[in-house]
Structure 1
């Protein structure tokens, strides 16, 4: 694998991964204290596939996420203040405090939104790609969804339509092995989701989701194909979530063993990438330490901003609503 990233891009890649991890560590702590209400789904362990995929895009390309939603806009380059304010339901949030953790959107970086409805982002991403084509733009659309979403009708409908119309979409399945607590093997006989691409006549690619550079390489190839007008690609990133399906779910439900979790934690994408940066690309430990400290500072600033931001005014409940 030949990496065609400049040193500054490699540094930005590490910084975004560190930013996601720091943001979600802070969010989990605030959720445990009751400062963040409702569900909170974190992407600990999945930062590599998120950032690797997003770094293969241009700023004006589209990105659609899912309920595990904080990492995707951060991976696309979104600023943290508006994201954290949204988690706290503040008026300065990216959705005015109405979306919360599972419904983040930041159009300034092409993030069209996250959704709590499993699989529903797939046709949205296809629609965004169709819209770009109709406007004569060469934008592509990247869609994140989990392995559970591939059992939904929206997966078939969205991928099939994109394939038939040769739309510029990259469908990225974040296969972390479980739909909440149900293993993939219990709901499908297909071991590799990427094999389903053959049914739609498009390429299917399997990539190590813990290797940020491998994901970047695979998605970059898919992006180039899409921009040429050759249609979509289904990329399956084999990854793992270290935490529970959602923060503070309560007792251990026993659906995965401690040994399994420990084995995957040894393949944490952040230290894996850090090792490669120092051994292959000449980064000094002090440089990477500085990037991690900057990520922590960004998160601290976002938390302070969110806490001092005002709550939405009552009358704004009637804005952004169709009647």
Structure 2
């Protein structure tokens, strides 16, 4: 990596990796290792496991630990491994975080506690307990569209004072709020919405945590590299070229897990099926995804 380029605590180009399953629907550790190595070879600085894309709601605690161990072993010191540990239960979150640390994770990612919709003081206390519970850094995951709970800017500012809270995966669609926290703290902000990768990076973001990076990591990374090089027109063009695939994968009616696994399977990479209640993509959707993927790969940059 060019020493002049920005890099957050976990790198800058992170993939929200799918969790590969075998033909029987069981966790596929060997497939996870192969996919992880492929993604790192393709330009990923880090891999985020057991997040939304990793089907965390339908994988067991034991499967989550096995996945971290397998991927950490596969990538070694070539990439960071961040484990999703967020749940609606503080005690369970702490258990998963300690488990992830013991399994070899470099950091943990946690959403605000969902469904019970705790007030901001309770959200702050939850994350402080998490950061106190482990010796590895914490990435907060602000995605109110799924959790029903925002991590408000003022809460972020207070949490930034904790030495264990180092980063944010930002899916709040609030560029003003994000820019405010970036300008006033040392928190590394990672875009969790591909269409905002470049806008957030341009106001001081650290990079991205991306579902689309399962299939096009180098293309997404190239946007940041162009910006770092001062070639804003190239960055804008590369960002625009990735939008059709981003839209099909993330905003065309199917969850990103489903579209990412459909594409990975079509490309001969480890993925497997999805666990219910999710359902696999149909042939028509997969064909459309392949066309958009091929157009991006073949585009003249």
TM-score bracket relative to the smaller structure = 0.3 to 0.5
Q: Normalising by the residue count of structure 2, what TM-score does the alignment of the two structures yield?
A: 0.39
Q: Larger radius of gyration, structure 1 or 2?
A: 1
Q: Normalising by the residue count of structure 1, what TM-score does the alignment of the two structures yield?
A: 0.37
State the structure with bigger RCO (CA 8 A, min sep 6), 1 or 2.
Answer: 1
